Amino acid sequence: MTAAPTSPAFDADYALEDRYRVESGRIFITGNQALVRLPLMQRQRDLAAGLNTAGFISGYRGSPLGTYDMNLWEAKAFLDANQIRFEPGLNEDLAATAVFGTQQAPLHAGARVQGVFSMWYGTGPGVDRSCDALKHANYAGTSKHGGVLALMGDDPGAKSSSIAHQSEHAMIHCGIPVLNPSSIQDYLDLGLYGFALSRYSGCWIGFKCLTDTIESSGSVSVAPGRVQIVTPTDYEPPAAGLHIGWANLPLQVEERLFEHRLAAVRAFVRANGLDRVVIEGARRRLGIVTTGKAYGDLRQALEELGLDERKLRDLGISIYKVALSWPLEPERLRAFAAGHDDLLVVEEKRPVIEEQLASILYNVSPRPRLSGKQDPLGRPLVPQIGELNPGVVAGILRRWIGEFAPDWTSALTPLPATPLLTVQAGGLARLPSFCSGCPHNRSTVVPEGSIALGGIGCHGMAVWLPERRTLAVNQMGAEGANWIGQAPYVEIPHIFQNMGDGTYFHSGLLAIRAAVAANVNITYKILVNGAVAMTGGQPIEGEEMAGEITTPEIAHQLAGEGIGTIVVLSDDIEKYVPGTFPAGVRILDRSEIDRVQKELREIPGVTAIVYDQTCAAEARRLRKQGKLPEPDKRVVINELVCEGCGDCSVQSNCISIEPIETEFGRKRIINQSSCNKD
Ligand SMILES: Cc1ncc(C[n+]2csc(CCOP(=O)(O)OP(=O)(O)O)c2C)c(N)n1
């Protein structure tokens, strides 16, 4: 047995739940957990201030906020104890509207609380699809003792998204100010400032949650006095106030937001010093302006270049860290810029700060030279695609210094022998594949002579398999709508369209209705695996409430939309209760898929297959937990009999079938560990 560490910092009584319980000192926490802790802290602050508030969280999962809901479910006892309600959204825009409602609640006579502090969350595409809701909600505003943080899940490198994302522009479009935290500590600190800012200004506040920060973990300080809110003394709100009311005349609302609330936002940021000088050079040669994760990249890059804080000061390099990237607070920025020869903006993807900064400083004289997406000579400098990383930023700095401050070159650490990392814009080197036993590995097969359209979800991987003849993916919930625009102009009589059950419930049913309305020849394949598999296997919304949507219910809904031919395929047709399906729905074993598809493609109009088989990863989890019986059959390949033709790999497309080198040549083996026993 190893002895317990004797370090004084070691706390033998520390429990995992302390990350939510401890009220001072340091805790170890992940980005997701920090976003669970944040509303708990807000509630405690409100209690201490004598405010009767409650918390409300709603949104929809997606990268990199894919498991936020799971973290919230896990912390239910803490949320309950703090009057915080987590209500998973059916989709992002309806969730945003529910959050909108929390700000209206105190307007009713006899409301039970003085305010509801709320958090909305969505992945980048979820932000995009919700702009109408977010805009209406933000134009209407927040309540004085409520406040809203809108968590924008951005996956800039499209590591697990269909599109590379940066949500600032969508938020700007909705008039929502954007906080850009650069670390988990910032999640807590800026989160508390964010609620206060929302209450002060009447605005929703965007809160950027990036893959690199949300998926990291670390030790952070939760000292009670860390965040002290300062009320601005240089801002006077209009007589009608800034907060939400029932009367919302469009032009008055517009004026209130853009003329008054955003001025209040800037005043708050200024008064609380949210944008701040992190390093002040002894001379004013180069001022670097940065924000969010790029700040961390910059600090690491400077370290790699051998530029420690003392050297930076001596050379005349300063750093300005922006917390609120839109709307940029101009006064402190002007003070920082004054007297600098050069400014360099280091921000990821398309410019947000740089363009505001250029317009803020345009009429300042003398003004520093500006570098950012371009150098002062108009050549590309900071890439606006892919992701930044310390290696890329170090390369940018090295180049800038070489060209515009060559006298500093000798201060830099010489280039390492190994090549620096570069922006990953060329796509992934290795594509993911279906898990062993994945139902989508069978259900996405198309019959000879047919093609299919892909969709959002794990089954979207069919697009990467040429023999599946599955074409491009569009946004979640629009599956098949592109066929309405293609069908009249092509010689292809029919198409198959895959759609996961999570997507179906989120928004996909409406796309099916559109196909019925347009009367196109299409067969929807609703892939029921009982989980939102791609984001971690969450239940389809509804389970917590009235019971998860079932295959018979889906069949009834499809019939209700006017689809005449519906066939259910499953690995276990015995499980259905007789009489629960609409009349005429056929229930067949999954092995019939080819025949059924060939039949349905000949039927004019919209037809549907509901392919029902539990997600293999989910089944594996359930078996481990003893909630699903272990099958009493295993499949093995006898190496002595195997002729090594490899056809089993081709036919099954299963990753558990592996090559094995034997003295009789290459044979096949089934990896019994990764096999999911389908
Ligand atoms: C508007 C929007 N919200 C969220 C996501 C994130 N997302 C990607 S795949 C996926 C799960 C889809 O689940 P389902 O349709 O059941 O397919 P499965 O992964 O189970 O095959 C989600 C939520 C997204 N791409 N777009």
**Residue 587 belongs to a domain with what CATH number?**
3.40.50.970
pLDDT at 248: 79
Based on the fold, state whether residues 313 and 217 are members of the same structural domain: no
Is any ligand 1 atom within 6 A of the Cβ of residue 534?
A: yes
pLDDT at 17: 87
1 domain-assigned: no
Of the candidates 170, 110, 160, the one whose C-alpha atom is nearest the C-alpha of residue 138 is: 170
pLDDT at 547: 59
pLDDT tens digits for range 186-197: 999 999 999 999
Based on the fold, state whether residues 187 and 40 are members of the same structural domain: yes
Which pLDDT band holds residue 542 (cuts at 50, 70, 90)? Answer: low
- Compute the distance from residue 476 Cα to the ligand 1 centre, in Å: 7
Residue 574 per-residue DSSP state: G
pLDDT tens digits for range 305-350: 999 999 999 999 999 999 999 999 999 999 999 999 999 999 999 9
Cβ(59)–Cβ(119) below 8 Å: yes
Q: In angstroms, what is the C-alpha Rg of the chain?
A: 28
pLDDT at 415: 79
pLDDT tens digits for range 378-410: 999 999 999 999 999 999 999 999 999 999 999
Q: Which atom number of ligand 1 is nearest to the Cα of residue 126?
A: 1
For the whole model, what pTM was predicted? Answer: 0.94
Based on the fold, state whether residues 400 and 455 are members of the same structural domain: no
- Compute the distance from residue 91 Cα to the ligand 1 centre, in Å: 10
CA 462-471-492 angle, to 5 degrees, is: 130
| Percent of the chain at pLDDT exceeding 90 | 87
210 domain-assigned: yes
Domain span at 364:
276-411
Based on the fold, state whether residues 98 and 122 are members of the same structural domain: yes
Which pLDDT band holds residue 160 (cuts at 50, 70, 90)? Answer: confident
pLDDT tens digits for range 502-541: 999 999 999 999 999 999 999 999 999 987 767 777 776 6
If one residue of 120, 443, 503, 524 were mutated to test the ligand 1 pocket, choosing by the most ligand atoms within 8 A of its CB, it would be 503
103 domain-assigned: yes
Based on the fold, state whether residues 177 and 317 are members of the same structural domain: no
Based on the fold, state whether residues 42 and 154 are members of the same structural domain: yes
6 domain-assigned: no
Cβ(437)–Cβ(453) below 8 Å: no
Structure token pair of residue 516: 């019925």
Residue 459, CA distances (Å) to 81, 305, 470 in order: 39, 44, 10
pLDDT at 357: 98
Is any ligand 1 atom within 6 A of the Cβ of residue 525?
A: no
The residue whose C-alpha atom lies closest to atom 12 belonging to ligand 1 is 457
Number of domains in the chain: 4
Is any ligand 1 atom within 6 A of the Cβ of residue 123?
A: yes
Long-range contacts at 635-638 (CB < 8 A, ≥ 24 apart): 635/670, 635/675, 635/677, 636/670, 636/672, 637/667, 637/668, 637/669, 637/670
Which pLDDT band holds residue 4 (cuts at 50, 70, 90)? Answer: very low
426 domain-assigned: no
pLDDT at 543: 52
Q: Per residue in 486-504, is it b (16+ CB within 10 Å) or e — as a string?
A: ebeeeeeebbbbbbbbbbb
Which pLDDT band holds residue 9 (cuts at 50, 70, 90)? Answer: low
If one residue of 167, 474, 476, 479 were mutated to test the ligand 1 pocket, choosing by the most ligand atoms within 8 A of its CB, it would be 476
Based on the fold, state whether residues 295 and 196 are members of the same structural domain: no
- Compute the distance from residue 520 Cα to the ligand 1 centre, in Å: 25
Based on the fold, state whether residues 472 and 582 are members of the same structural domain: yes
Structure token pair of residue 140: 């209407």
Of the candidates 279, 276, 275, 280, the one whose C-alpha atom is nearest the C-alpha of residue 265 is: 275
If one residue of 438, 456, 554 were mutated to test the ligand 1 pocket, choosing by the most ligand atoms within 8 A of its CB, it would be 456
Average pLDDT, the chain: 93
Structure token pair of residue 286: 């180069």
Based on the fold, state whether residues 184 and 255 are members of the same structural domain: yes
Q: Of 622, 640, 660, which one is at a domain's C-terminal end?
A: 622
Q: Of 603, 622, 641, which one is at a domain's C-terminal end?
A: 622
Tell me: pLDDT of 123 over 80.
Answer: yes
pLDDT at 247: 80
pLDDT at 591: 97
pLDDT at 473: 86
pLDDT tens digits for range 634-670: 999 998 899 999 999 999 999 999 999 999 999 999 9
432 domain-assigned: no
Based on the fold, state whether residues 542 and 660 are members of the same structural domain: no
The residue whose C-alpha atom lies closest to atom 5 belonging to ligand 1 is 62
Cβ(30)–Cβ(67) below 8 Å: no
Q: Which atom number of ligand 1 is nearest to the Cα of residue 475?
A: 26
Tell me: pLDDT of 425 over 90.
Answer: no
CATH code where residue 307 lies: 3.40.50.920
pLDDT tens digits for range 206-225: 999 999 999 999 999 998 88
8 domain-assigned: no
Is any ligand 1 atom within 6 A of the Cβ of residue 125?
A: yes
Which pLDDT band holds residue 422 (cuts at 50, 70, 90)? Answer: low
Based on the fold, state whether residues 198 and 322 are members of the same structural domain: no
Residue in the structure block whose two tokens are 């179906």 = 504
Based on the fold, state whether residues 398 and 475 are members of the same structural domain: no
Is any ligand 1 atom within 6 A of the Cβ of residue 459?
A: yes
pLDDT tens digits for range 554-596: 999 999 999 999 999 999 999 999 999 999 999 999 999 999 9
Q: Of 271, 289, 315, which one is at a domain's C-terminal end?
A: 271
| Percent of the chain at pLDDT exceeding 70 | 95
431 domain-assigned: no
Is any ligand 1 atom within 6 A of the Cβ of residue 62?
A: yes
pLDDT tens digits for range 352-378: 999 999 999 999 999 999 999 999 999
